[in-house]
């Protein structure tokens, strides 16, 4: 907890206790018939204590307000109102009342999304020589059974025991704790600290722990105040059937990754049977969220951009690691989280050398994700990389980090970067029977000692009959330590008790039933299952956070109105520039159309406005769309280019204007570069006010 808040909560609790004690003293004096001066003095002391209590409460309220949701909600509402009014996105099927968790992108929102995805493709797929794939959204059940999604892709849900309304259990606990912390001034410092710890480890709570907290805090249904059921898992996948018979069950994919894993064998061959390599996919994914909320942040259909980087599990070095090793940014290792500390700036290279980040390849992608997000326009001071807590991480994972972006909803997970080990390829190998493996050919053959387990099927058949196959499979699955221990026991005792998991019991194995030895063999290649490093990007979440980070308001020239501005970098701006004739004039309009044609020819998205509206209003309209540059036609030989955020203008010849705009929007030069090369324009004829 913040030190000032903790001190004020303790002071308030102590002062309130003093008020209560003094109130008792006043009552005792009155009932005991004490002299009037004594009673008046006690009452006066009580008034002083109450004033002091109110003063401390006011200070505490101010501290809480500094971090509370009030100002954040007002800011968010301003952003969302602008986004919906300017058609960046709107609820889907709105004329029919809409459907929770489904949104449509309008023209500017679609352009922002396409620009983000184009930069993602450039930054990762092209620069890293990745293999792009595009797989179906409908996935057979057997694939998702193998991946674990059918059994484990769940959130914990509770139901209103009377109405049956469903809620996400962790959301109820989170909302309760946040409201108490922001609004309950009587909350003790100890209780406030406890609730902040609950919020910090919320994702780490088991169903039992979550249920216990809901009961401890007396949390009920938010709509009816009815009691809630115990938390239980709810599978988030949309189920469907493939074909008219209904006999082939399937699901709408909850992620794009499985399409890459099942194609590993062909992709490995396409890549010349060489590792490492990465495959990438952009596509729609579907999750049947229990209680979708928070706009674009929690929806039922969304765009994912995922990378599966296949690497030798014995060599997770990366040849380009040095390019990112010196980056420094906010990191939040699990030890700091569990200790209740805050994220701090760490050098990525130091994090790897200290073992905080598991390996170079994982670190390389963390660094590349940082560069991607900051180039888009995400504020680096509101971006952190948080390491998964132990209970968040799958048992097979070597290490996992989330790129979290702070917005008005708090810290939001937008990118997951995980070392998933070899789990996925092994799972699909086991289920499909197709070996998803890689080979390393040796320049010279190597002599190695290999464990050889040979079950004697005749002897095993006589003893175990129909259960022989399960015993054979269990014997062949032994690792070297288990096999050599069995060999020693058989040689000394002649028999040994052996646990067969598929039978659910131990059986007696005799010396005649199995042969165990080590043999020297020459190997010409090494066969192994590759590990996978997976960066997974929630595009809608990134875009919403970008909207908030780029939004600000500024006063009109007259100071009587606040104007909305999206300061998108040219890289992601929905429209790169606007073209305005200063006044309605046939010659100016013809020049504007000529410039528009030149811009279109070199692929610059633009908006031409030849209406008679004042130039100030036209500037304000395009500023609100995040258009970085405005070309104003005020002569037939040259024009001005205005930069959105500084509102500075330069004068450029008509023949050069398209190439200058392309230069700055493509990132070849900065606005400062071109401003230095061309004369600055200042004219009272162009008015910014509305």
Strand order in the sheet with 239-241: 138-140, 249-252, 239-241
pLDDT tens digit sequence for 451-503:
899 999 999 999 998 889 889 988 988 888 889 999 999 999 999 999 887 78
Average pLDDT over residues 570-574: 96
Q: What is the mean pLDDT of the chain?
A: 91
Can you list the pairs that 169-173 forms with residues at least 24 positions away whose Cβ atoms lie under 8 Å?
A: 169/207, 169/210, 169/211, 169/214, 169/231, 170/202, 170/203, 170/205, 170/210, 171/291, 171/293, 172/214, 172/219, 172/222, 172/228, 173/198, 173/202, 173/210, 173/213, 173/214, 173/217, 173/219
Average pLDDT over residues 17-36: 88
DSSP string computed for 235-297: E-PPEEESSTTS-SEEEE-S-SHHHHHHTHHHHHHHTTS-SSEEEEEEEEEE---SS--TGGG
3-state secondary structure 618-675: HHHHHHHCCCCEEEEECCCCEEEEEECCCCCEEEEEHHHHHHHHHHHHCCCCCHHHHH
Which pLDDT score is estimated for 690?
Answer: 42
The better pLDDT of the pair 468, 293 is held by 468
pLDDT-above-90 percentage for the chain: 66
Which pLDDT score is estimated for 340?
Answer: 78
Q: Which of 430, 435, 425 is nearest to 311 (CA)?
A: 425
Q: Confidence class of residue 683 from pLDDT cuts 50, 70 and 90?
A: low
Which pLDDT score is estimated for 14?
Answer: 86
d(CA 181, CA 222): 18
DSSP letter at 559 equals S
Residue 644 has pLDDT above 70, yes or no: yes
E strands along 4-153, which residues?
89-91, 103-105, 131-132, 138-140
pLDDT tens digit sequence for 595-640:
999 999 999 999 998 887 888 899 999 999 999 999 999 999 999 9
Q: What's the Cα-to-Cα distance from 486 to each of 454, 474, 494, 500, rounded to whole Å?
A: 13, 13, 10, 14
Residue 68 has pLDDT above 70, yes or no: no
Q: Confidence class of residue 685 from pLDDT cuts 50, 70 and 90?
A: very low
Which pLDDT score is estimated for 69?
Answer: 54
Average pLDDT over residues 67-76: 74
Contacts with 493 (C-beta within 8 Å, 6 or more apart), sequence order: none
Which pLDDT score is estimated for 627?
Answer: 97
pLDDT tens digit sequence for 228-280:
999 999 999 999 999 998 889 999 999 999 999 999 999 999 999 999 999 99
Residue 6 has pLDDT above 90, yes or no: no
d(CA 367, CA 372): 9
Which pLDDT score is estimated for 313?
Answer: 94
> What is the value of pTM for the model shown?
0.81
Which pLDDT score is estimated for 296?
Answer: 92
Q: What is the dihedral of CA 607, 610, 615, 620, to 10 degrees?
A: -30
Q: What is the CA radius of gyration of the chain?
A: 33
Average pLDDT over residues 326-336: 95
Residue 687 has pLDDT above 50, yes or no: no
Of 197-206, 360-369, 376-385, 577-586, the one with minimum mean pLDDT is: 197-206
Burial category of 492 from C-beta neighbours within 10 Å (exposed 0-12, middle 13-18, buried 19 and up): exposed
Binning the chain into helix, strand and coil, the percentages to the nearest 5 are 45, 25, 30
Residue 356 has pLDDT above 70, yes or no: yes
d(CA 400, CA 396): 11
d(CA 155, CA 169): 8
Q: Confidence class of residue 438 from pLDDT cuts 50, 70 and 90?
A: very high
Which pLDDT score is estimated for 44?
Answer: 87
Nearest-5° angle of CA 510, CA 516, CA 521? 165
3-state secondary structure 212-235: HHHHHCCCCCCCCCCCECCCEEEE
pLDDT tens digit sequence for 392-401:
777 778 899 9
Neighbours of 130 (CB within 10 A): 18
| Beta-strand pair 505-510/495-500 | antiparallel
Residue 220 has pLDDT above 50, yes or no: yes
Cβ–Cβ under 8 Å, residues 130 and 279: yes
Which pLDDT score is estimated for 54?
Answer: 82
Which pLDDT score is estimated for 493?
Answer: 92
The better pLDDT of the pair 556, 322 is held by 322
Cβ–Cβ under 8 Å, residues 200 and 386: no
Which pLDDT score is estimated for 561?
Answer: 86
Which pLDDT score is estimated for 67?
Answer: 52
Residue 11 has pLDDT above 90, yes or no: no
Average pLDDT over residues 365-375: 98
Q: Confidence class of residue 2 from pLDDT cuts 50, 70 and 90?
A: low
Average pLDDT over residues 283-287: 96
């Amino acid at each position: 907890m913040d030190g000032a808040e903790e001190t004020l909560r303790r002071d308030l609790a102590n002062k309130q206790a003093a008020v209560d004690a003094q109130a008792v003293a006043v009552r005792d004096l009155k009932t005991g018939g004490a002299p009037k001066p004594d009673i008046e003095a006690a009452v006066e002391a009580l008034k002083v204590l109450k004033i002091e209590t109110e003063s401390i409460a006011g200070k505490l309220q101010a501290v809480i307000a500094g971090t509370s949701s009030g100002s954040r909600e007002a800011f968010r509402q301003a952003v969302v109102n602008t986004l919906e009014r300017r058609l960046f996105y709107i609820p889907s099927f709105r004329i029919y009342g809409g459907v929770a968790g489904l949104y449509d992108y309008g023209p500017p929102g679609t352009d922002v999304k396409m620009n983000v995805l184009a930069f993602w493709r450039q930054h990762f797929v092209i620069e890293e020589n990745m293999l792009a794939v595009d797989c179906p959204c409908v996935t057979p059940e057997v694939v998702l059974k193998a991946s674990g999604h059918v059994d484990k892709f769940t959130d914990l849900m509770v139901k209103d025991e009377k109405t049956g309304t469903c809620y996400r259990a962790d959301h109820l606990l989170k909302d309760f704790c946040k409201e108490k912390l922001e609004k309950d001034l009587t909350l003790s410092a100890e209780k406030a600290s406890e609730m902040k710890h609950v919020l910090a480890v919320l994702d780490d709570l088991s169903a039992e722990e979550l249920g216990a907290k809901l009961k401890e805090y007396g949390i009920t249904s938010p709509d009816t105040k009815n009691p809630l059921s115990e938390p239980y898992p709810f599978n988030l996948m949309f189920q469907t059937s493939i074909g008219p018979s209904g006999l082939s069950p399937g699901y709408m994919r909850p992620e794009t990754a499985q399409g890459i894993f099942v194609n590993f064998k062909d992709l490995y061959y396409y890549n010349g049977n060489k590792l490492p390599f990465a495959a990438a996919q952009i596509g729609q994914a579907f999750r049947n969220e229990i209680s979708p909320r928070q706009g674009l942040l929690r929806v039922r259909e969304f765009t994912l951009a995922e990378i599966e980087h296949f690497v030798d599990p014995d060599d997770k070095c990366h040849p380009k690691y040095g390019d990112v090793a010196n980056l420094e940014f906010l990191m939040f290792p699990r030890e700091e989280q569990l200790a209740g500390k805050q994220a701090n700036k760490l050098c990525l290279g130091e994090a790897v050398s200290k073992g905080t980040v598991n390996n170079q390849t994982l670190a390389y992608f963390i660094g590349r994700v940082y560069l991607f997000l900051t180039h888009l326009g995400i504020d680096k001071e509101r971006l952190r990389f948080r390491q998964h807590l132990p209970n968040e991480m799958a048992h097979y994972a070597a290490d996992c980090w989330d790129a979290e972006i702070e917005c008005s909803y708090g810290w939001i997970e937008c990118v997951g970067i995980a070392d998933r080990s070899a789990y996925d390829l092994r799972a699909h190998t086991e289920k499909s029977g197709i070996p998803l493996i890689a080979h390393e050919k040796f320049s010279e053959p190597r002599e190695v000692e290999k464990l050889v387990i040979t079950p004697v099927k005749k002897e095993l058949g006589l003893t175990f009959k129909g259960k022989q196959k399960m015993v054979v499979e269990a014997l062949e699955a032994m690792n070297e330590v288990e096999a050599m221990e069995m060999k020693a026991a058989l040689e000394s005792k002649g028999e040994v008790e052996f646990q067969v998991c598929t039978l659910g019991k131990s059986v007696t194995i005799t010396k005649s039933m199995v042969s165990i030895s080590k043999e020297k063999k020459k190997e010409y290649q090494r066969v192994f299952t590759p590990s996978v490093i997976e960066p997974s990007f929630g595009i809608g979440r990134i875009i919403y956070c970008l909207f908030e980070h780029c939004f600000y308001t500024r006063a009109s020239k007259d100071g009587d109105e606040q104007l909305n501005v999206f300061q998108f970098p040219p890289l992601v701006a929905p429209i790169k520039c606007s073209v305005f004739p200063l006044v309605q004039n046939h010659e100016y309009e013809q020049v504007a159309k000529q410039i528009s044609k030149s811009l279109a020819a070199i692929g610059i998205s633009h908006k031409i406005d030849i209406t008679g509206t004042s130039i100030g209003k036209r500037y304000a309209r395009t500023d609100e769309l995040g258009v970085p540059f405005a070309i104003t036609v005020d002569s037939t030989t040259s024009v001005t280019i205005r930069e959105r955020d500084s509102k500075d203008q330069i004068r450029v010849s008509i023949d050069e204007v398209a190439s200058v705009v392309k230069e700055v929007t493509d990132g070849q030069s900065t606005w400062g570069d071109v401003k230095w090369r061309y004369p600055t324009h200042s004219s009272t004829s162009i008015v910014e006010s509305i």
